[in-house]
Amino acid sequence: MGFGGIRTARELAGKGFDVTLVDRNNYHLFQPLLYQVATAGLEQESIAYPVRAMARGWAGTRFHLAEVTGIDFDAREVRTNNGTIPYDYLVVGAGSVTNYFGLESVERHAFDLKELVDGERLRNHVLTAFERAVVEPDPAKRRALMTFVIVGGGPTGVEFAGALIELVRFVLAKDYPELSVQTARVVLVEAFDRLLAAMEPPLQVYTLEKLRSMGVEVLLNARVVDAGPERVVLHDGAVIPAHTLFWSAGVKAAPLAAALGAAPRPGGRIPVEPDLTLPGHPEVLVIGDMAYLEQDGAPLPMVAPVAMQMGIYAGSSILARERGGSLPPFRYRDKGSMATIGRSAAVASAFGMKFRGYAAWVIWLLLHLYYLIGFRNRIVVMLNWIWYYWFHERQVRLITERERAGGQ
């Protein structure tokens, strides 16, 4: 269940409705911290929470583990791989998937972070690369094994780059004394001339300077156009010998969007009415990354805060309609954005104020703990962060699955 669906269910719980949650996973994933699983900072269980554990406290709510395959609008039924589910109102918030923009070679060889298993798989790959480097006699191949290319200078790319360089320089350097870990490379590739495009210029400059001071190679105005198991090719023909490519350069609506029958907008998103309903189907609401809605002349971004506010609005709208009323059109209230760069360093913009450095980092920590679901998860994550802050040690350096020959 995504951020939007959870908020909708909360709004409708205990209000006399029969609410059915449908998802192919039985847990809610706190995706903003998935990169910390990939960089050995957190256990995967600490950022996920069982949907049934949440729903059992919500009167009138039940969970159905299934994958949605289609929607019959005339019969008002959702088709799944486990049968059909009737509905009076339908809220669709299946989220997004990684957008590789038609680069098939990149899609074959790149890692992304959308599912819980992706974090563990990427962590396995990073640690395995160092194990392979230990026994690699060829210096060039050894360096390629310790080279990590990250595509996309948004929050995910910045946060992953910062966490990865700290893992390499402060943790793996001690684990692998036989390697010259200082020669390891973390390369961040961004197609535009700045990082964190949604933030103010001073925060962008701070982020760039901080990453470079940490040892991250930042390439601006650069695009990845091809990839293989041991190389990454840029638009100008430059080749970076690397065994690891992480892609965070864009997302598009989940494939389920095609089942809604509407002409998609950029990114495969579905255009919705101002009240988030699907045109021609007032009983169907589309929320989150799948929904295309313009506000102040620009489409709303595909980020978690938008999904959460849409989810709350969808639940409130259904409740109002059942009581004979209606709500004004949906309007997103931007409360700001933030990104962590590394230990004691972050940038944040909220309510017209800008924060950077330690203060922004503390705000980032507190807000992420607040939105994390489950008291145990909050405690575990907080303890992991405290431990890392004081000892520069990450406990989850586990290779839980061996890679098959040939890479992924």
Q: Which tokens hold the place of 106?
A: 């990149």
Other beta carbons within 10 angstroms of residue 373's beta carbon come to 18
**Which residue bears the tokens 């395995």?**
128
DSSP state of 27: E
Residue given tokens 């925060």 in the structure block: 203
CA end-to-end distance (rounded Å), the chain: 27
Look up residue 264 and give its two tokens. 């998609």
> Which element (helix H / strand E) includes 400?
none
**Which residues make Cβ contacts (< 8 Å) with residue 47, sequence separation at least 6?**
29, 30, 33, 34, 36, 37, 116, 372, 377, 381
**CA–CA distance, 399 with 131 (Å, rounded to integer):** 10
From 11, 120, 159, 190, the catalytic residue = 159
> Alpha carbon of 358 to those of 132, 197, 204, 228, 342: distances in Å?
36, 21, 16, 39, 10
159 in catalytic set: yes
238 burial type by CB count under 10 A (0-12 exposed, 13-18 middle, 19+ buried): exposed
Closest by Cα among 70, 74, 120, 77 to 94: 70
> Burial, 50: exposed, middle or buried (Cβ in 10 Å; 0-12, 13-18, 19+)?
middle
| Helix H or strand E encompassing 319 | helix 304-322
Query: Residue 277, CB half-sphere, CA atoms under 13 Å: how many?
Result: 15
What is 66-101 written as a DSSP string?
Answer: --EEEEETTTTEEEETTEEEE-SSEEE---EEE--T
Say if residue 243 is exposed, middle or buried (CB neighbours under 10 Å; 0-12, 13-18, 19+). Answer: buried
Tell me the C-alpha to C-alpha distance, in Å, between residue 132 and each of 53, 59, 67: 41, 52, 38
Which residues participate in catalysis according to the annotation?
159
